Amino acid sequence: MQQTENLNIEAFDPMPTPEEIHARVPMSEAAARTVLAGRRALEAILDGRDPRLFVVVGPCSIHDPVAGLDYARRLKILADEVSDTMLLVMRVYFEKPRTATGWKGYINDPRMDDSFHIEEGVQKAREFLLAVNEVGLPTGTEALDPISPQYLGDLIAWTAIGARTSESQTHREMSSGLSTPVGFKNGTDGSLDAAVNAIISASKPHSFLGINAQGRSSVTRTRGNRYGHLVLRGGGDRPNYDTVSVALAEAALTKAKLAKNIVVDCSHANSYKKPDLQPLVMQDVVNQLRLGNQSIVGVMIESFIEAGNQSIPADLTTLKYGCSVTDACVDWNTTDTMIRNAHAALRDPLAARKAV
């Protein structure tokens, strides 16, 4: 009989099951406390019970766990100092959606040489998440591969669904079962419809094919996730963090009978991918909050130790320490200034928000 399947498959390399990876890198008590406290704080902010602003801040992607943990320790010190007005969540992105080709992230290619040792990448990603949570920082990531949450989801406090995947039924279904609040980004063309519809869809129960902890194909049945919210990242060659865009987003959420919870991404199209514009976006958001805005609950910042980005060289020993290999970031000093300035400016406005 002629073969009719797997015609373009070169190999099926077995993966350790989620249960096996959890056994190799077990959750610690300290990490569990950080995860649960982070999730509860985020839920309280989204429910309007906590007036603070949450800030998802960190490298565009993790490629060097040593530099990443260096950044985490710096961020933890800052997080403690500004905790009365802001909840800092470290951005820990391991999976990168590519428009065409390019490095797909630490899970997919941890050695950064197109060897694609995914089994190694999953374990190293889990080790890094555990270390950051043990520092005392909750983590946020983008859910791209629908299987990854079974390996890593217990160490995540906040999840993003990207502009390219907010329209995806697979990602809406997956989000309905995640244990974290989920931010859905508006489309790359700037439209809000896909993200708003995704929030609605993810709030409902779903049944779909997935894997369980033993790595067995299963029908996954979810309860629905009531903590979906909108992330404005700009698009269609224009930003959408200004007061008019925010008002339109509020109207769209109200029309859909959804909570008016909005996060502003200071990077991507909102800053035309120019990192030096991220502080200006942050200033604008802070000003809106000072003028009484009630719907902006969070911001996102792409930040690393060094400014800018770099290409991945053939000789990885020549990589610049603490510098992004994907989108360009603001440096640590700029990040520190952005957050401290916002902290000083928001004490009174956020106290007023609590009173309201």
Beta carbons within 10 angstroms of residue 330's beta carbon? 27
Identify which of 105, 92, 176, 205 has the alpha carbon closest to the alpha carbon of residue 141: 92
Residue 6: inside a domain, yes or no? no
- Classify residue 7: in a domain, yes or no: no
Q: Is 235 helix (H, G, I), strand (E, B) or coil?
A: strand
Q: Name 257's Cβ contacts closer than 8 Å, sequence gap at least 6.
A: none
Domain that holds residue 81: 18-355
What are 38-63's pLDDT values in tens digits? 999 999 999 999 999 999 999 999 99
Within a domain: residue 132? yes
pLDDT band at 233 (very low <50, low <70, confident <90, very high): very high
Asked whether residue 353 carries a pLDDT value surpassing 90, the answer given is no
Specify if 214 maps to a domain: yes
Q: Give how many domains the chain has, as a whole number.
A: 1
pLDDT at site 97: 72
Span 198-223, mean pLDDT? Answer: 97
pLDDT at 354 over 80: no
Cβ–Cβ under 8 Å, residues 57 and 91: yes
pLDDT in tens, 121-152: 999 999 999 999 999 999 999 999 999 999 99
pLDDT value at 95 more than 80? yes
- Residue 3 within a domain: no
User: With contact defined as beta carbons under 8 Å apart, do 55 and 85 qualify?
Assistant: no
- 243-248 long-range contacts, CB within 8 A, separation 24+: 243/288, 246/288, 246/293, 246/295, 246/296, 248/192
Instruction: Give the pLDDT confidence score for residue 98 in this predicted structure.
Output: 63
* Residue 188 CB contacts under 8 Å (≥ 6 apart), including other chains: 163, 164, 235, 236, 269
The predicted pLDDT at position 351 comes to 85
Residue 141: CATH number of its domain: 3.20.20.70
Confirm whether 244 is domain-assigned.
Answer: yes
Residues 6+ apart with CB under 8 A from 265: 185, 231, 232, 233, 234, 299, 300
At which residue do the structure tokens 């603490």 appear?
Answer: 322
**Helix, strand, coil share (%) of the chain residues, nearest 5:** 40, 15, 40
pTM: 0.96
In tens, the pLDDT along 251-275 reads: 999 999 999 999 999 999 999 999 9
Q: Is residue 265 part of a domain?
A: yes
Q: Is residue 12 part of a domain?
A: no
3-class secondary structure, 208: strand
Q: Residue 130: exposed, middle, or buried by beta-carbon count in 10 A (0-12, 13-18, 19+)?
A: buried
- pLDDT (tens digit, 9 = 90+) per residue, 273-295? 999 999 999 999 999 999 999 99
**Residue 352 scores a pLDDT above 90:** no
